[in-house]
Amino acid sequence: MSRFYGYRRCTVCGESCTPGNFVDFKGKRFCTACWIERENPKHKQIDDIRASGREAASKWKRQKYSRNEGPLPTGPMSARKD
């Protein structure tokens, strides 16, 4: 299985959600910053959390396609011997 696991975007801000930086609630996906802003609007570090989420998303996107992983396998070999 490749590293890309099909993470979606936040329904509020549209940022890409990375592993561990999102919350699924009632069929909607929230990034960590939007969830904290929804539950505690007076939180002092919302901007820092949002910036760290963007940084993690850009770093994760670069790691998703690595040349070190090599090409995908061609699949199982045929059982027929001609």
**CA angle centred on 19, ends 27 and 73, rounded to 5°:** 105
pLDDT in tens, 18-76: 878 888 889 888 988 899 999 998 999 999 988 988 888 777 665 555 556 556 556 66
pLDDT in the model for residue 2: 45
pLDDT in the model for residue 61: 60
Set out the domains of the chain in order of their start, with CATH numbers: 1-64 (2.10.110)
pLDDT-derived band at 3 (thresholds 50, 70, 90) equals very low
The CA distance from 37 to 59, in Å, is 24
**67 is written with which tokens?**
């040349």
22 φψ region: left (φ > 0), alpha (ψ -120 to 50), beta (else) = beta
pLDDT-derived band at 5 (thresholds 50, 70, 90) equals very low
